[in-house]
Chains A and B, each alone.
Chain A
Amino acid sequence: MHRFLGLLGLFKEYLVLTVLIVISLVLLSLNDNNQVRAIRSTAVGFVGFMQNALAIIPNVVELKKENEVLRQLNVNLSNEVSLLREARLENLRLREIAGLKEHSSFKLTAGNVIGKSLLLLRNTITLDIGERDGIKADMPVISETGLVGKVIATSEHYSIAQLMQNKDFRASAKIQRTRVDGIIAWGGGDVLRLKNVSKTEDVKAGDIVITSEYSSVFPREIKIGLVSKIEEKPGSLFKEVEVTPSVDFASLEQVFVVTSAPDPERTEIEKKVARTK
């Protein structure tokens, strides 16, 4: 301490000069005239130049911090991109569905698939629409790509639909090109089978299979799928027509239930005839 005071005494003139200059500069800075503004401007320019010049020296701590911030930003942006992609796909899907609803002549009620029961033989889906939405049993279920199945059970808010990939499913169908009729049923695995097609009928691979007007449940001309394979077994009168469904059941998320009732007069007379038999 004594030594420090001695040192201060040795340079007291310079110390006092420095203090007085600092006070003077502070007083100068309190002025607001052209000169002070020009000096401030020069000082800012100089500081900026020095910062620029020193910027080439990497600051490890700052770089590390910046790196962390950028990483965090990267994660956030990646999440955002992922969400946007998802939203875009959803948007496309919804547009397709909206398009179907707009162009369809049926009365449709949209529903989301909230559950799937993919048991070996009885595949069903659960929908988030029910009796409150006007859903009843036997109503057809379709998607933007084609026939999905039909409603088999309902509650107030939910309903269960039987997929075409269900051993109990049957529907009247026809080949669109040649109007050949048949019964569509599940063929096991991912394929359907068009049954009761005579060996003499004109059916080719690639033919489009649609619902037939003979069905009292399904509206006519809803796409079912494409003929993928035809076999003719000896000793049988019918062709084995394999149909690949146009609906991808694995990725099914939104569907429509056709809520417009089939022609009641037709239904009534068909029931009457059935009873008399």
Chain B
Amino acid sequence: MIGRYFTYALISLVLVVVQTKLMRLLTVEGITPDILTIWVVFLALREGQLPASVWGFCIGLLFDLATGNFIGLSALSKTICGFFAGYFYSETKMLQTLASYRFLMVVLFASVIQNTVYFIIYAQGSEIGFLRAIFQVGLATAFYTTTWTLLPMFAFTRRSMR
């Protein structure tokens, strides 16, 4: 279990670096896919609600520290993301969920909630209203992220077919 968690930590670290340094290459119209959200949802579906909340917090905080802006905001939104994604955890149907469209739906659902929380706070005191931020940026990011979830979903589909 410790080894597994160590692997998760290592992957999280790599993904944070990828998210901060490389994902901007995939930006379309200012919208960047959030692979950390996909990772937190994966952890939620694999480990359950409580570990997903803790991993969400740790990954979010790591991302905040890596980017250096608004410490605590990603930690908060990803904690909530992990918590809500954890509702779809099922020990027996874990692989089926990851290998099907349900994975996409969970990512979309968790991403919308996460972005809503994120932009409610982020839009405070700025000229852009938080409703506009949620609908224009939050939803777009959620859909774009869901699109990128197709890659792991296909990987799990192939794995389940073996």
Complex-state Cα separation, A29 to B75, whole angstroms? 13
B50-A12 in contact (CB<8A)? yes
The interface residues of chain B lying within 8 Å CB-to-CB of A25 are: 72, 76
Scan A12-53; emit 1 where CB is below 8 A from any B CB, else 0: 110011001101111111110111111101100000000000
Taking CB atoms, residues of chain A closer than 8 Å to B80 are 17, 21
**Interface of chain B, main secondary structure:** helix
Please determine whether B83 and A17 come into contact, CB atoms closer than 8 angstroms: yes
- Determine if A39 and B126 form an interchain contact, defined as CB atoms under 8 angstroms apart: no
Number of A-B contacts (CB under 8 A): 73
Q: Considering the chains assembled together, what is the distance between the CA atoms of A91 and B123 in angstroms?
A: 68
Interface residue total, chain B, C-beta cutoff 8 A: 25
Given A20-B54, A20-B79, A24-B79, do A31 and B72 touch, yes or no (CB 8 Å)?
yes
Q: Is B86 an interface residue (CB 8 A)?
A: yes
Contact (Cβ within 8 A) A13 B83:
yes
B70 within 8 A of partner (CB): yes
Interface size on A, residues (CB 8 A): 24
Does any Cβ of A come within 8 Å of B57's Cβ?
A: yes
Identity of the chain A residue whose Cβ is nearest the Cβ of B48 in the assembled complex: A13
Find the B residue at minimum CB distance from A15: B50
Query: Is A28 within 8 A of B125, CB to CB?
Result: no
A13-B49 contact in complex given A20-B57, A35-B124, A38-B125, C-beta closer than 8 Å:
yes
Contact of A27 among B61, B86, B124, B126 (CB under 8 A): B61
B23 CB–A CB distance under 8 Å = no
Interface residues of A in 157-177 (CB under 8 A from B): none
Interface check B17, CB cutoff 8 A: no
Cα distance, A20 to B59, chains bound together (Å): 12
- Report whether B79 and A34 are in contact in the complex, using a CB–CB cutoff of 8 Å: no
A-facing residues in B84-106 (Cβ within 8 Å): 86
Inter-chain CA distance A29–B79, complex, in Å, is 17
B2-61 interface (Cβ within 8 A of A): 49-50, 53-54, 56-57, 60-61
Q: How far is the CB of B51 from chain A (nearest CB, A)?
A: 9
Does B71 have its Cβ within 8 Å of any Cβ on chain A? yes
Q: A30 to B53, Cβ gap below 8 A?
A: no
Q: Which residues of the partner chain B approach A34 to less than 8 Å between Cβ atoms?
A: 124-126
Minimum C-beta distance from A133 to chain B (A)? 78
In angstroms, Cα B44 to Cα A53, docked, is 43
Minimum-distance CB pairs A-B, first 6: A38-B125, A27-B72, A24-B76, A34-B125, A28-B72, A38-B124
25 A-B residue pairs with Cβ-Cβ distance under 8 Å, sorted by A, are A12-B50, A13-B50, A13-B83, A20-B53, A20-B56, A23-B57, A23-B75, A24-B60, A24-B75, A24-B76, A24-B79, A25-B76, A26-B72, A27-B75, A28-B70, A28-B71, A28-B76, A29-B72, A31-B70, A31-B71, A31-B72, A34-B126, A35-B123, A39-B121, A39-B124
